Amino acid sequence: MQEQPSLLTRICIASLLLLPLAIVPDALGQLRISSYNIAHFNGDQDAFRHVLEALHSDDIIGFSQPCDIMIFQEVREENIVDLQANIDAAAPRGIVYTMATFTSGGGEDFAGGGQAYFYRSDRIAEIPTSHLDISTGANRDTDRWLFRMLAYSSTDAYFFIYSSHLKAGTGSSNEADRNDGVNLVRNNADALPAGSNIIYVGDMNFYSNNEDGYQAFIAAGGQGQAIDPYGTGSWGGSSNAIKHTQSPRDVSGGGLIGGGCDDRFDFHMPNIKMFDGNGLSMIDGSCRAVGNDGVHYDDAINDGTNTYLSNTAESNALADALFQASDHLPVLVEYQVPAVMTAFAPSDFGRVIVGAEHFVDVYVKNIAEHVDPIGVDELEFTATGQDGITGSLSSTAPLDPDFVIVQLPVDTSASALVNGTVQLQATSEATQNSEWSLSVAGEVLDHAVPSFSGKREITMLESVISIEPGDLGLFKIPIHNFQYDMLQAELDVISIEGLAGFFYSAAPLPTGIDDSPGTLQIGFDSDGLPDGEYSITVDVNVSDEPLPGAGQGQLQLDLVVNVGSAGCPFDLDSSGVVDGADLALFLGQWNQDGSADFSGNGVVDGEDLAMLLGAWGSGC
């Protein structure tokens, strides 16, 4: 039967798993990414800060967390200082944002403006040598950045972000410019190292899903194929109002465009690899235009009551801020992060006996930090035993504080000192600590070998004593664990079957017999008995020490008591006296088992000779 760990063992192990492990770095929590066209910072800065604060606190998908990445379009060089100041002012307490590589050279600063990227440097790091400007026409560049997640060592936790502000305007010429720009971006993305994580954000200025530029983004073929989280159908009309991002204003003024919220210009699209649910991946259903409640089609976002947030007053205040801050709505998206594996197994599985069904319990859990469980990839892994630990099992580990127990068999086919290993290999993409090795030791013991002799295995024995009438007789029978060594179980005597009449157990049964024999003591009470020979056959039941795989055995013992003149065991020739004739018979049995084994140790030896000489010349 498979053994289960005791409650105390489970509590201790669970406590150990709750302790922080020095070799496990703080895991990176799930990612929140925003993208926002700030219209050259022509809006009200107090309103802008209000919007930034709302990006951090937005909880309409069930949870909130500070933004990890904030990307802005239409940013001029002169806006950077004020932009950083507003980001810092709106940041949750203790959180600092760093600006990534920023470029707005050539005519870009005086046309559409550049792309600015701010990130939490305690969680994410830029690889600045991979920054690239891709000219997409009309004095506009798409910026490409490469980032890595600090708590993960796998390159599958690196990701590229392309931020674009494509040519605005209707008509075939503007559409062609946008299409040319997208093809340049796609060509660059398709040429990245195989398996790259890619995100496209920005103000794309697509008027419909039929535009060639949009179709170029989502075209199959190449790793750069974009996945539109809203699907590839039409986004036009009031039935799709929830997707629209321009304009939150119904009137133009102060450098901000009006016209009402009826266009979807602002996009956030990952490539296939970042939308497959594995490792670093967009959380399906998390993409939203912040402040858009879906009922302000072709209208100002703050006209009447806004119901984007559950708190109407807060929602109306946010709508007012969006109206004043820019002529676009920000797009907010959540990403799950890869798993982080930790594992534990008892370093010593103890002592078991050959043939036992015994297992090593391996405890595994996913300790990735998260705001909500949906923000962490599941942890799939395989555990494989080596060097005395056998088998290979696959499982899925839950998030901390829960854990899964995987049981791997111990090889108990032969006795051995086991110094085994459990190798864990995570199969979930980009898992931190994806390889884990646990050392497990223990002992596999041979069964005990019960014997009446320490020199050879003897399982049947006759023992004879002589006493005077009325005396108490005592058999002292040595019980050996034959050829005992460190890889053999100890021996326990567990019962004596067949004792009856005047025979009785005279002492506790011996247990823990190793290389020193135990003594089985059986008494005989002759009170009131006439002279004569009294005998009984008993079974001595023995077992291995109480370990997994323990077996049982049996020894047979014939007990003979001569009371009074019934005879003497030392008078081997029954002449009535112990003399030279008895000595000759004794020596003929030397180093063998026979009637001259007075001590009952299974062999005729010096101990028996001493007993014979002690009775010399007597009639016993």
Domains of the chain (ranges plus CATH)?
32-336 (3.60.10.10), 339-445 (2.60.40.10), 450-614 (2.60.40.10)
Q: Which of 458, 478, 459 is nearest to 607 (CA)?
A: 478
**Binning pLDDT at 50, 70 and 90, where does residue 534 land?**
very high
pLDDT, position 607: 84
Average of per-residue pLDDT across 427-437: 97
pLDDT, position 109: 79
pLDDT, position 619: 65
517 vs 578, residue with greater confidence: 517
Q: What is the C-alpha separation between 21 and 26, in angstroms, rounded?
A: 10
pLDDT, position 21: 37
Amino acid at 579: D
pLDDT, position 448: 98
| Bridge partners of residue 201, in order along the sequence | 163, 268
Q: What is the C-alpha separation between 235 and 292, in angstroms, rounded?
A: 14
- Cβ-contact 437, 383 below 8 angstroms: no
pLDDT, position 110: 75
Residue 39 CB: number of other CB atoms within 10 A? 22
Residue 482 CB: number of other CB atoms within 10 A? 20
Whether 22 shows a pLDDT value over 50: the answer reads no
Whether 115 shows a pLDDT value over 70: the answer reads yes
Whether 15 shows a pLDDT value over 60: the answer reads no
The model's pLDDT over 119-152, given as tens digits with 9 standing for 90+, comes to: 999 999 999 999 999 999 888 999 999 999 999 9
Q: What is the C-alpha separation between 330 and 45, in angstroms, rounded?
A: 15
Average of per-residue pLDDT across 255-283: 97
Residues of the chain above pLDDT 70, percent: 94
**Binning pLDDT at 50, 70 and 90, where does residue 614 land?**
confident
pLDDT, position 194: 96
Flag the least confident range among 157-161, 231-235, 438-442, 577-581.
577-581
pTM flag (> 0.75): yes
Q: What is the C-alpha separation between 493 and 511, in angstroms, rounded?
A: 6
Average of per-residue pLDDT across 566-573: 71
- Cβ-contact 162, 270 below 8 angstroms: no
**Binning pLDDT at 50, 70 and 90, where does residue 605 land?**
confident
Average of per-residue pLDDT across 601-605: 80
pLDDT, position 24: 34
Flag the least confident range among 102-106, 232-236, 240-244, 464-468.
102-106
Output the 3-class SS for 6-17: CHHHHHHHHHHH
**Binning pLDDT at 50, 70 and 90, where does residue 479 land?**
very high
Average of per-residue pLDDT across 555-567: 86
pLDDT, position 596: 83
**Binning pLDDT at 50, 70 and 90, where does residue 593 land?**
confident
The model's pLDDT over 398-423, given as tens digits with 9 standing for 90+, comes to: 999 999 999 999 999 999 999 999 99
pLDDT, position 106: 67
How big is the chain by its Cα radius of gyration, in Å? 43
Sequence-distant (≥ 6) Cβ neighbours of residue 106 within 8 angstroms: 139
Whether 12 shows a pLDDT value over 60: the answer reads no
**Binning pLDDT at 50, 70 and 90, where does residue 240 land?**
very high
Sequence-distant (≥ 6) Cβ neighbours of residue 141 within 8 angstroms: 103, 108, 114, 115, 133, 134, 135
Residue 30 CB: number of other CB atoms within 10 A? 24
Average of per-residue pLDDT across 525-548: 96
Average of per-residue pLDDT across 173-195: 97
pLDDT, position 20: 38
pLDDT, position 573: 76
| Bridge partners of residue 393, in order along the sequence | 383
**Binning pLDDT at 50, 70 and 90, where does residue 27 land?**
very low
pLDDT, position 620: 57
The model's pLDDT over 345-368, given as tens digits with 9 standing for 90+, comes to: 999 999 999 999 999 999 999 999
The model's pLDDT over 288-339, given as tens digits with 9 standing for 90+, comes to: 999 999 999 999 999 999 999 999 999 999 999 999 999 999 999 999 999 9
Flag the least confident range among 222-226, 434-438, 603-607.
603-607
Output the 3-class SS for 359-405: EEEEEEEECCCCCCHHHECCEEEEEEEECCECCEEEEEECECCCCEE
pLDDT, position 484: 98
